[in-house]
Chains A and B, each alone.
Chain A
Amino acid sequence: MRREPPQTFGDYSPLLFPAAMLTIFFVVPFGTMIAVSFFQRQQGGFYTPAFVFDNYERFLSAFFGGVLGFSLMMAIAVAICCVVLALPFTYLLTRMARRVQIVWLVALLSILSLSEVIIGFAWSTLFSRTAGITNILVALGLMSEAKALTPSFAAVLTGMVYQAFPYTVLVLFPALVRLDPTLTEAARTLGASPPKAFFTVVVPALRNTIVATLIMVFIFALGSYLLPQLLGRPQHWTLSVLITDQAIYQSNMPFAAAMAVFLVLVTLGLVALTVIAGRKGEAA
């Protein structure tokens, strides 16, 4: 069967529906947000349509710079942790029997059905002093007394990695299943140990997949605003938390919109850099 490029307008028609949806539910709201970000905030009131840069000016401070930096760093840390954990896990999973694979995948999928709220409250209980895992360590004689592990950076990181892990596995799984097993066999035949074969053959072969997964988890983690509140101290609050504060509690839509636009731009910039760097690496 030969694939032909679409010729007439009719050939493009299946695209109309998704295009319309994308316009109505993404382009229009995003455009509105950009417009509002230039509106004039009226303190003690609402906002009036205008074209001012005040909202962006307020954002450009050491304080918000610090919060933005922390948010990006946090998202990068989550992405790296997820991929480092998920890659060997998924690799081993693809080598298992079909039946075992299904059990694992169903378990991972069921995590996706949990809301962020449930994940947050569950981890805050597990990390608590009164009912947490340290009580088990005390019972085993490994610790002298139970202590709270939350709020802390580690707690936020754990919660976010837990939440993003199933996505990571699901994105990596198809690529690893399709990976030609003869590659590793060849490496083994030439005398490489299994770990060496994994790092020198499997990982480089999956470079593009790994980069794509990192970007996906990074963007996913950047939007998280509940887990940092539930498991972290205020210094672990991401920019998304502050955006929510402005939009819902301060009714300062222009400033919230400006922060959101800024976050989107920075994210797109980072993703573009990664992609360009990837292309250059390939060419070399």
Chain B
Amino acid sequence: MNINSIKRRTLLGAGLAGASMLAMPAVLRAQDKSLKVGVYGGYFKDSFDKNIFPEFTKATGIAVESVAEPTGEAWLVQLEQAARAGQAPADVSMMSQVAMLKGQATELWTPIDMAKIKHASDLLDRFVNKYPDGRVAGVGAVSWYITLVTNTNVYKEAPTSWTALWDPANADKLGLLALVSNSFLLEVTAKTHMGGTNALDTEEGILKAFEKLAEVKPNVRLWYRDEAQFEQALKSGEIPMGQYYHDVTGLAAADGHPVRSTFPKEGGIQDSGCWALSRASQKSEEAHIFIDYMCQPAIQATLSRKVGTSPTVKRESTDLTEKEFAAVSSDIEPIVPRYDLYQTKSDWLNQKWTELIVG
């Protein structure tokens, strides 16, 4: 790095800088290139550092400096404040859908030029995040499912529908996520009992969904924020049913624990993260190369195998086997969260939700 920068300065000093730079060998220029990429810290970042980034650097010559970002909205706040000062703590970041929408409100994301994303044709439409005027704000990075999980010792038969949550036979047996914006239970209620998530378009519709959801309360033993708490109880059979992450449940089952994850007939809840480029970043060129690289079916397949995420590209385009695909996804049309609601009505939803479960 140091040697390169000295060389560049020397060349600049020698005059005719532009021509000289262009004349420099391609390899040398490529080594000058780098990109700061933000991914969720912990398990995610470790997997990316090990399985994805070295290959990317080998293929493109762009060095990747990975940045551990916190989940939730803390990273969005940091990016926003840094961008106001013209700084980019990461050029490209993996952002949740709600954070994508909030960033759109302040034009935080540099629009992605889809002409430069050669592999865009394989992307599933729902993973392309767009500004209201149609510019692309972010491109799908990974997706994952929240499904209906059960303890196989307690439930010999796998449940087939989300209606199991409402079944009086399951009194005091469920573990559900404790927040409106990460459990997506309003969407589940709308899809299961109200004909689809469009039922949540109006406040009356949302209130009706809350009313229906209130009927689940007697069945819920645990509203969890801490994943470990529910995972432990599910494995032991203490809390034999609930909603949980499909990938982690699969890993636990592979380790021999008596648990299973089922895609209900109404669909699993599909959540996802996008690659987004901060407006303060100077590395637009490299960022586009990176995003294009990550959209390749082969890379998406690697992510499925190594990280356990579901591909954001069409299934046919990947070389995932039947078994590998089933381990991370399903062909049943998923329940896609109404992310727009968590932006426009977040405080109201949060208040109603807290009153529902605490009251």
Contact = CB atoms under 8 A, between A and B. Distances in A.
Interface string B41-76: 000000000000000000000000000000011100
Given A46-B80, A237-B358, A230 B229 contact: yes
B359 A63 contact: yes
Nearest to B217: A234
6 contacts: A43-B346, A44-B102, A45-B106, A230-B229, A235-B359, A242-B358
A131 interface: yes
Contacts of B73: 251
A144 interface: no
B165 to A, nearest CB: 16
Given A129-B238, A251-B73, A245 B221 contact: no
Most chain B beta carbons < 10 A, residue from A129, A234, A245, A252: A234
B190 interface: no
Contact of A234 (B102, B238, B358): B358
A94 B219 CA distance: 49
Interface of B: 72-74, 77, 80, 101-102, 105-106, 178-179, 181-182, 221-223, 225-226, 229, 232-233, 236-238, 343-344, 346-347, 350-351, 354-355, 357-359
Contact of B179 (A44, A121, A131, A249): A249
B358 A151 contact: no
A248 interface: yes
Contacts of A58: 351
* Prevailing SS type, chain B contact patch: helix
Contact of A67 (B222, B237, B357, B358): B358
A41 B346 CA distance: 12
A46 B343 CA distance: 12
Nearest to B359: A63
Contacts of B344: 43-44
B346 A44 contact: yes
Interface string A46-81: 100000000000100001000100000000000000
A23 interface: no
Contacts of B358: 63, 67, 234-235, 237, 242
A130 B350 contact: no
A44 B101 contact: yes
Contacts of A230: 226, 229
A237 B181 CA distance: 19
B193 to A, nearest CB: 22
Interface residues of A toward B: which range?
20 to 34
A229 interface: yes
Contacts of A41: 347
Most chain A beta carbons < 10 A, residue from B232, B343, B354: B354
A44 B102 CA distance: 6
Contacts of B232: 121
Contacts of A46: 77, 80
B350 A151 contact: no
Most chain A beta carbons < 10 A, residue from B179, B221, B238, B355: B238
Nearest to A246: B350
A282 to B, nearest CB: 41
Interface in A233-283: 233-235, 237, 242, 245, 248-252
A250 B353 CA distance: 12
A148 interface: yes
Given A229-B225, A234-B223, A252-B350, 13 more contacts: A63-B355, A130-B238, A131-B236, A148-B238, A151-B222, A235-B358, A242-B358, A245-B350, A248-B72, A249-B182, A250-B346, A251-B72, A252-B347
B221 A128 contact: no
B231 to A, nearest CB: 12
A279 to B, nearest CB: 38
A245 B179 contact: yes
A46 B196 CA distance: 31
Interface in A82-133: 121, 124, 128-131
B77 A251 contact: yes
A41 B74 CA distance: 16
A242 B343 contact: no
Nearest to A235: B358
Contacts of A131: 236, 238
Q: Which 4 A-B pairs have the closest CB atoms?
A: A44-B343, A251-B73, A234-B357, A234-B358
B221 A151 contact: yes
A249 B181 contact: yes
A201 to B, nearest CB: 46
Most chain B beta carbons < 10 A, residue from A131, A242, A249: A249
A240 to B, nearest CB: 13
A245 B237 CA distance: 28
A10 B107 CA distance: 57
Contacts of B179: 245, 249
Nearest to B76: A251
A44 B105 contact: yes
Contacts of B350: 245, 250, 252
Contacts of B238: 128-131, 148
B242 to A, nearest CB: 14
Contacts of A250: 181, 346-347, 350
B181 A45 contact: no
Interface in A32-48: 41, 43-46
Contact of A249 (B72, B106, B351, B355): B72
Nearest to B358: A234
Contacts of A43: 343-344, 346-347
